[in-house]
Amino acid sequence: MAQVKLVNYDEAPAEVRAVFDDIMKTRNTDYINNIWRALAVHPPLLKRFWSQMKEVMVKPSRLDPLTKELIYLAVSVNNNCEYCITSHTFAARRHGLDDAMLAEFNEIVALANAGNRLTMGLQVEPDERFKPKHADTAWSVGKKPAVARKKPKQSR
Amino acid sequence: MAQVKLVNYDEAPAEVRAVFDDIMKTRNTDYINNIWRALAVHPPLLKRFWSQMKEVMVKPSRLDPLTKELIYLAVSVNNNCEYCITSHTFAARRHGLDDAMLAEFNEIVALANAGNRLTMGLQVEPDERFKPKHADTAWSVGKKPAVARKKPKQSR
Amino acid sequence: MAQVKLVNYDEAPAEVRAVFDDIMKTRNTDYINNIWRALAVHPPLLKRFWSQMKEVMVKPSRLDPLTKELIYLAVSVNNNCEYCITSHTFAARRHGLDDAMLAEFNEIVALANAGNRLTMGLQVEPDERFKPKHADTAWSVGKKPAVARKKPKQSR
Amino acid sequence: MAQVKLVNYDEAPAEVRAVFDDIMKTRNTDYINNIWRALAVHPPLLKRFWSQMKEVMVKPSRLDPLTKELIYLAVSVNNNCEYCITSHTFAARRHGLDDAMLAEFNEIVALANAGNRLTMGLQVEPDERFKPKHADTAWSVGKKPAVARKKPKQSR
Amino acid sequence: MAQVKLVNYDEAPAEVRAVFDDIMKTRNTDYINNIWRALAVHPPLLKRFWSQMKEVMVKPSRLDPLTKELIYLAVSVNNNCEYCITSHTFAARRHGLDDAMLAEFNEIVALANAGNRLTMGLQVEPDERFKPKHADTAWSVGKKPAVARKKPKQSR
Amino acid sequence: MAQVKLVNYDEAPAEVRAVFDDIMKTRNTDYINNIWRALAVHPPLLKRFWSQMKEVMVKPSRLDPLTKELIYLAVSVNNNCEYCITSHTFAARRHGLDDAMLAEFNEIVALANAGNRLTMGLQVEPDERFKPKHADTAWSVGKKPAVARKKPKQSR
């Protein structure tokens, strides 16, 4: 049971219905997944996360759709997010993933986890030749006059 | 050494300068952190991540600034992100965190990790009385007529 | 089903009853959560973990109760501990957390995870100005005479 | 550089010196590791964590010292805690771990991570026959009269 | 429900039956766990993972069987892999683990997670004296003549 | 500094040289990465891990080389394995990854982590329609006569 009541279309405010409509139109479906209905309890969050998902996963880019789903799925498997593994394996199958490819995908995820731990456990340091070689310059605002300030509020 | 060359103001395209200017104005500083200079190699990413950070961490909300920084820091410690721990501990100190509070904060993070593992290792199931009680309704687009479709492209 | 049989009051030895009594008295309840009943199979563990929980989470300190619960919850979400997310979301709601705040809290946890991965994936190094500035001194036992020894048993 | 200044013996308050003395006596050394000097900025935390470490890792128990160090090390490798991997590999070597055993240990950690991800990625469910079989009873305070209460402060 | 249909003996191809037969013979059982039946959808993966499991966990080595199971279990608890915790706790009990030892084991896992986070959160650096002291030599193929090459395909 | 002394070609035993030779031949290089030189302290481990890496990452399969590297890299970023991120980003660049694609890749990894945490934190349950639909049959050894046994040694 989700921690919040899943919002349904009829009871949703206009700003939520607008997002639901865009999700259904974008995905050519009349169904809204549980995650979107849960995020709808806080409309600004629903709008932000859907807009990111649409920008990053739906809009055509340098990486093909299946590769993008597999990258998303690799993270979901590593975090053991049952909901995410279920929904993104479903999505990857829509993009052509079959059982043999799914098994191959998971073996790569497993091998990477094994390799990561062998490297971390033995504290092996990166080979110099694999490190980036570019030269960074110190930050400079150039011509822009520095802003006078009392107490900077530096954060990440 | 970052995997990409840190972008500097003078060499940055207009769309990147616009974000850098907003970061400096918002934070009342003339310095741009390494993370933003790295994200600048892909302007759309820089714009999206800064807009999220500004919306979620900078804009006033129900949670106070220090609490928000501590939630962000708790995740960063759990993921052992050195950059993030360094920059967000710095930010939290700007909001009043002192050594004793930092130690107390880390003891809670440590205790939570201990409690999580004891629960997971012994596979203890949630008490019924702590589970949410609301009743969910199945998804329904209500009056909206269902969209006819061949192959839905359902994704997360 | 937990890996161990949950201990009940009637069958519990005196040292376990003493802890159960203290938990019920401290929390003003006559109910003991599953986790404590599970830890009771090994009384020394039950006593240690309850004493830590009481010291760190119950005793008044520099951080307010809700902030402490949110830090604990942030870790639990990151570790995907279902039991812990369920019980501590319940606890946070007792301290005033509502749906909108819970959504805001989770968006910060999500954003921190996103920021952490962007930083880790691009291997961005911490800005010098955010690093601590204090000067450490080498360990010295001062006046205390060094202990003569054959084979030290150094551990963490 | 640690986020807090490492405390030294001469400048430490009596309650911290008492813990430092106990650590040196227990480990038969005149050296205090950085972690203890860092925790010393918040004496209650130093006392609590040392008392747990002494109770769990130092006091003789059902599990032998090397096995305990390897369990601690397995977690440290999984969390990629450089400090912890360094100090506990050192400690494990003191208990007889050699290079071949360290390699074997890390291969088990790697294999477990691989197996975990294969299972999580394919969402394989536990076999009924491996689940615990005991029957749990609902919580009951037995003879103890239930405490009347207004608003219980249930927490984990 | 697993993402792939669990393969049964009768419907399995010869190469899969050969692995199933070896698993049953090696473990003196006529039952095959769900994980093996799932991996069987991709025979090469089934063969590889079983051969690793047999080599690392079954074949006698420097570490005793129970210690190996506890190392595997520590990782499984840390990754919160329900299937793995269930099956390997079962396996550890076969090797003599009882409730008190299981509780002790989990307290070490919990303590290690706590210690790891305290160290990571406070960014404590490893003590020089605990770091390895050996001197590494740069890679050299020695007498072997260097291979002439156009574009090396260096990978991990 | 790695926990074990990196093995060099001249001092390596024949079985290690054989693996080093195969790595150099397979990758058309005369350089051996630190990880392989570290694993060489335990020849059986070196042989097993290289054979897995060669089978899974080098041998042509259903997934293209760059996609395989990105899946491996996604896991490495999630585990924050510096060595692995460095070497596999290098490998991915050899397969055509440029700065913009690397940024896009990391944004997907970041988004997946955000989505995973939102789903886990709000405890959203998988939609029925995304779950696998196949019907599993109970394990049966079919014609094969069940092995008579006293105490099965079931393990994962």
CB atoms near residue A95 (< 10 Å) = 15
CB A3 within 8 A of CB F123: yes
Q: What is the C-alpha separation between B127 and C85, in angstroms, rounded? A: 12
B20 touches chain C (CB under 8 A): no
Q: What is the C-alpha separation between B30 and B24, in angstroms, rounded? A: 5
- Output the CA torsion D8→D11→D12→D17 (10° steps): 80
ipTM of the complex: 0.91
Q: What is the C-alpha separation between A80 and D120, in angstroms, rounded? A: 6
pLDDT tens, A73-99?
999 999 999 999 999 999 999 999 999
More confident residue, B46 or D150: B46
pLDDT tens, F79-99?
999 999 999 999 999 999 999
Contact list, F105 vs chain A (CB under 8 Å): 63, 71
Residue of E70, E80, E85 best to disrupt the C interface, most CBs of C under 10 A? E80
Name the 3-class secondary structure at B56: helix
Please report the pLDDT score of residue A141 as a whole number. 87
In chain A, what percentage of residues exceed pLDDT 90?
88
Contact list, E93 vs chain B (CB under 8 Å): none
Please report the pLDDT score of residue D147 as a whole number. 46
pLDDT tens, B49-93?
999 999 999 999 999 999 999 999 999 999 999 999 999 999 999
Please report the pLDDT score of residue F144 as a whole number. 52
E155 touches chain A (CB under 8 A): no
Please report the pLDDT score of residue C155 as a whole number. 47
Please report the pLDDT score of residue D141 as a whole number. 87
Looking at residue C15, its amino acid is E
Q: What is the C-alpha separation between E108 and D25, in angstroms, rounded? A: 22
- The alpha-carbon gap from C71 to the nearest alpha carbon of chain F, in Å, equals 13
Instruction: State both tokens at E69.
Output: 């199971």
DSSP structure class, residue A128: G
Q: What is the C-alpha separation between C42 and E104, in angstroms, rounded? A: 8
pLDDT tens, A114-151?
999 999 999 999 999 999 999 999 999 875 544 444 44
- The alpha-carbon gap from F138 to the nearest alpha carbon of chain E, in Å, equals 8
Residue among C80, C89, C115 whose CB faces A81 most closely: C80
- Determine whether B100 is exposed, middle or buried from the number of CB atoms within 10 Å of its CB (0-12, 13-18, 19+): middle
Instruction: Using CB atoms, list chains with 3+ pairs below 8 Å to chain C.
Output: A, B, D, E, F
Residues across chain A:
156
* Inter-chain touch F136–E90, beta carbons under 8 Å: no
Q: Which helix (H) or strand (E) holds D155?
A: none
Closest chain E residue to D98 measured between Cα atoms? E62
Closest CA to B110 of B84, B76, B74: B74
Contact list, A3 vs chain B (CB under 8 Å): 132
pLDDT tens, F11-63?
999 999 999 999 999 999 999 999 999 999 999 999 999 999 999 999 999 99
- Is the pLDDT assigned to residue A29 strictly greater than 50? yes
pLDDT tens, D21-72?
999 999 999 999 999 999 999 999 999 999 999 999 999 999 999 999 999 9
CB B114 within 8 A of CB E113: yes
Mean pLDDT in runs of 10 for chain C (156 residues)?
96 98 97 98 98 98 97 98 98 97 98 98 97 94 53 47
- The alpha-carbon gap from C104 to the nearest alpha carbon of chain A, in Å, equals 8
Residue of E70, E99, E105, E117 best to disrupt the B interface, most CBs of B under 10 A? E117
In chain D, what percentage of residues exceed pLDDT 70?
90
Q: What is the C-alpha separation between D90 and D57, in angstroms, rounded? A: 15
Instruction: State both tokens at A103.
Output: 């098994």
Instruction: State both tokens at E127.
Output: 């003590």
F151 touches chain D (CB under 8 A): no
C41 touches chain E (CB under 8 A): yes
Please report the pLDDT score of residue A144 as a whole number. 52
Question: Which parts of chain E have pLDDT scores under 70?
Answer: 143-156
Residue of C80, C82, C116, C124 best to disrupt the A interface, most CBs of A under 10 A? C80
Residue among B84, B124, B126 whose CB faces C115 most closely: B84
Please report the pLDDT score of residue F93 as a whole number. 98
Instruction: Please compute Rg for chain A using Cα positions.
Output: 22
In chain F, what percentage of residues exceed pLDDT 90?
88
pLDDT tens, B90-139?
999 999 999 999 999 999 999 999 999 999 999 999 999 999 999 999 99
Helices C99-121 and B82-94: crossing angle in degrees, nearest 10, is 130
Please report the pLDDT score of residue E143 as a whole number. 56
pTM of the model: 0.93
Average pLDDT, chain A: 93
pLDDT tens, E5-27?
999 999 999 999 999 999 999 99
Q: What is the C-alpha separation between B82 and B63, in angstroms, rounded? A: 25
Average pLDDT over residues D87-112: 98
